[in-house]
Amino acid sequence: MLQGFKPLLRLQSKILRNSRAASTVVEQIDFASRHENITQPVKLLTDAESFRFQSYLPQILEDIGSLPGVESMPDITEWLNETIQAIVTHGDFIAAHQTILAYKYLSQDQGDFDLAIVNGWAIELGLRGHEILEDVIDDTKVRNGKDTRHCRNKHGVAAVCDGILVRSCTALLSQKYFKTKSYYSDMITLRNFNTHSQLYGKSLVLRNAKERQFHLYKLDFYL
């Protein structure tokens, strides 16, 4: 199991930075590590695996609703469930699928495939929560063909709380499923680094938007 998840953790940093720009058709992925470079043709998830991922959402919502301390706030749990279902109904799952694909092709032990699915959902929720915050900052009206969270029913800046709440599910799900794993510390360290990098990137965009300093955005900067 550890053989499969440690390379996965190394890959997540790049996945999170580039997932929204990635193509849905993957012909080949180069998995690079310190000691080896593996190049192999990659198949996308099978229909059965994709369905298995999608069908895991009710379990994820149940896990979130049963976390310690939330039983006394059922109305907020219901609101959070509604928020999550609304933001994942449309759009792709590139980050989650790439996470599962990485496990599928790097792990010699497929016995914990469901854990890879949970990890995929944790990453996906982190990204979707970030999108809620980003839409508020940019005042984006439509995403994936429907009203953004802050525009829906004139929800406004209260959506900021929704975004932070959804993002917090990433850490709590990771704690529930991975706390006893030997790679848990590496996982949390990488998640914190990615969150920090996301915010740094957004800050760069906001600080330079008016001056339109496009020379700052070179491919080398993102690789």
Q: How does pLDDT run across 4-31, given as a tens digit for each residue?
A: 555 555 555 554 444 444 333 333 334 3
Alpha-carbon distance of 191 to 46, in angstroms, equals 27
Q: What phi and psi values does residue 142 have, to the nearest 5 degrees?
A: -135, 135
CATH 3.40.630.30 fits 2-222, yes or no: no
Q: How does pLDDT run across 152-189, given as a tens digit for each residue?
A: 878 888 899 999 999 988 888 999 999 999 989 998 99
CB half-sphere exposure, 191, CA atoms < 13 A: 23
Q: How does pLDDT run across 197-212, given as a tens digit for each residue?
A: 888 878 877 777 677 6
Does position 107 have pLDDT exceeding 50, yes or no? yes
DSSP secondary structure of 147-203: E-TTTGGG-GGGHHHHHHHHHHHHHHHHHHHHTTSTTHHHHHHHHHHHHHHHHHHHH
Alpha-carbon distance of 103 to 110, in angstroms, equals 8
The angle at the Cα of 186, spanning 191 to 85, to the nearest 5 degrees, equals 35
* DSSP SS3 for 41: strand
Of residues 147, 111, 114, 110, the one with CA closest to residue 132:
147
Domain residues of the chain, as ranges?
2-222
